[in-house]
């Protein structure tokens, strides 16, 4: 109950006029433009990396499906796995 009154009192003290008079410092327009430019570069890089990541996931799903298909058709044996494991090591 006491906490509810505190919240109501805080809301009453935060009027629209308070926010209208509040001055928020902003960097110069040139700096803002530079920041936006850098953020755009990062956004483009994130999109590029997400596309690569999705391609890797798709390839991994295809590989998994291929391995399962070979395993169930008898084309894949424990001996094959050992040979491939040695090749990787």
CA distance linking residue 15 with residue 35, whole number of Å: 32
Identify whether 79 is part of a domain.
Answer: yes
Radius of gyration of the chain, Cα coordinates, nearest whole angstrom: 30
Identify whether 7 is part of a domain.
Answer: no
Which pLDDT belongs to residue 40? Answer: 98
Q: What is the pLDDT of residues 14-64, one digit of tens each?
A: 788 888 888 999 999 999 999 999 999 999 999 999 999 999 999 999 999
Identify whether 5 is part of a domain.
Answer: no
Q: Do 51 and 43 touch, CB atoms closer than 8 A?
A: no
Which pLDDT belongs to residue 18? Answer: 84
Number of domains in the chain: 1
What does the pLDDT average to over 5-19?
69
Identify whether 9 is part of a domain.
Answer: no
Locus of tokens 């803002």: 32
Say how many CA atoms lie within 13 Å of 30 toward its Cβ: 0
Residue 24: its H or E element: none
Identify whether 34 is part of a domain.
Answer: yes
Which pLDDT belongs to residue 2? Answer: 47
Which pLDDT belongs to residue 11? Answer: 63
Domain that holds residue 38: 26-88
């Amino acid at each position: 109950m006491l906490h509810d009154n505190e919240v109501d009192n805080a809301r009453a003290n935060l009027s629209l006029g308070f926010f209208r008079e509040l001055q928020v410092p902003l960097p110069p327009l040139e700096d803002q433009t530079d920041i936006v430019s850098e953020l755009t570069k990062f956004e483009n890089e994130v999109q590029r990396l997400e596309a690569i990541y999705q391609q890797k996931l798709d390839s991994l799903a295809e590989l998994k499906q291929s391995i399962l298909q070979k395993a169930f058709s008898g084309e894949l044996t424990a001996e094959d796995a050992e040979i491939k494991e040695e090749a990787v090591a």
